[in-house]
Amino acid sequence: MSDARTGIRLSRRAALAGAAALVGSAALPAFADEKKVVVGTWGGDYARLLNKNIEAPFLQSKGIEVLQDIASDEPRRNKMIAEKRLPRGTTDVQGLSQLNVAQMVEVDVLEKLDYGKLANAKHILPQLRFDYAVPHIYSGLVVLYNPKLIDPAPSGIADLFEAKNAGKVGVIDIQYQWTLMAAALVGGGSMSNFEPGKAKLMELKARGVKIYPTNEALAQALKTEEIGLCVMWKARAVQWQNAGINVKTIAPKEGVPLYISLLAIPKNAPHKEEAYLYLDASLEPEAQVNFALDMGYNPVVDDAAPPAEVTARIGFNEEERSRLVNPDADYIVKNDAQLKDWWDKVFKS
């Protein structure tokens, strides 16, 4: 092959090699260590606030491209399991609850964190420190009530089981683990033994408990005063109060189970360096305070101080903090199948 004007002769083999090189160079950016991080996260406000409070100010401003892989935690957990055998996964950071993290550790898909790469990690509250994920925000399971329907105010989870509140109590189907946990605290169980909670829930069933499919459906029932008493994370209660639903909360005397939302790195994350930057940015005091202001969840670091009136609304005082209990995630993961079986076949039947 030759070009008559330039006289350059090009063999077919050289032309093919050149074309291959061109295709190869075009594909290079896809494999190069570009500044990019893919974050698996729940959608809605949480995804929007991740962008507003973490991604835009701390990563995108430094030229790091951030992509969100939005889905509830169930498909994202299964995607990680499905990608377990691949050398390169498709996400770099995953937002998970402490129960999700325990399950993912069990199936060996999460990176054991190198805390030396996290400058802000030294400020993490000691009881919220984990080997395989950094905490992002936390709240506690409280008793939520409508003061118009429930008077006097409840003092603990036991109030849900009192005869005078029959027909006013609601539970959420997808929160079966937390509902069993709360019932166990009343029935003589513990964070590592939910069995006594089953008998308590059967009492509740006999008294006409209403079961709602999602948090949002329960919020709607609170709004229409179909129910007036339930257990829920305090942060959600704050959001519902902000939405004009007439509810108050008390930190139950039996104990306040901690709900922690964390950020973890899959073992086969393709952009681990940026993933660590993301985790560290999530612990920045400014980001932590903004999440408290915007979403009603508490900071997980000791150097973030939301305004006192916000802390009073979303947080727990010293006496309440003494009742905070961390769920035994390993127990729940190991017993989840039988707990769900019981919930579906006995409690809901």
Partner 1 sequence: MAGGTALSDAALPLGRGPLEGVRERTSDGRPSLAAALAGPATVYVALALLLPIALLFRYGLNHFTPGNDLHWPLTLENYVRFFSDAYYVEVFLRTLRVAVVSTAACLVLGFPLAYVLARMQSGAKNFLIMLVVLPLFVGNAVRAAGWMTLFGSRGFVNAALIGGGLIDHPLVIMYTETAVLIGIIAVNLPFMVLTLQSVIEGIERAVEEAAQSLGAGPLATFRRVIWPLALPGTVAGTILTFILAMNAYATPVLLGGPKFQMMGPLIYGEFAQQSNWPFGAAISFILMSATIILTAAANLAAQRRYRR
Instruction: Tell me which residues touch partner 1 (CB under 8 A).
Output: 74-75, 77-78, 81, 84, 103, 106-108, 173, 211-213, 224, 226, 336-337, 340, 344-345, 348-349
* Neighbour tally for 102: CB within 10 Å: 22
* Neighbour tally for 295: CB within 10 Å: 20
Mark 34-73 as b/e (b = at least 16 C-beta within 10 Å): eeebbbbbbeeebbebbbebbbebbbeeeebebebbeeeb
CB of 147 to partner 1, least distance (A): 21
Residue pair 123/299 in contact (Cβ under 8 Å)? The answer is no
Nearest residue (CB) to partner 1, 171 versus 277: 171
Nearest residue (CB) to partner 1, 151 versus 344: 344
Nearest residue (CB) to partner 1, 30 versus 337: 337
CB of 250 to partner 1, least distance (A): 26
Nearest residue (CB) to partner 1, 224 versus 322: 224
CB of 330 to partner 1, least distance (A): 12
CB of 179 to partner 1, least distance (A): 12
CB of 215 to partner 1, least distance (A): 13
Nearest residue (CB) to partner 1, 170 versus 270: 170
Nearest residue (CB) to partner 1, 133 versus 333: 333
Q: How far apart are CA 103 and CA 181, in angstroms?
A: 17
CB of 75 to partner 1, least distance (A): 6
CB of 104 to partner 1, least distance (A): 10
Nearest residue (CB) to partner 1, 294 versus 336: 336
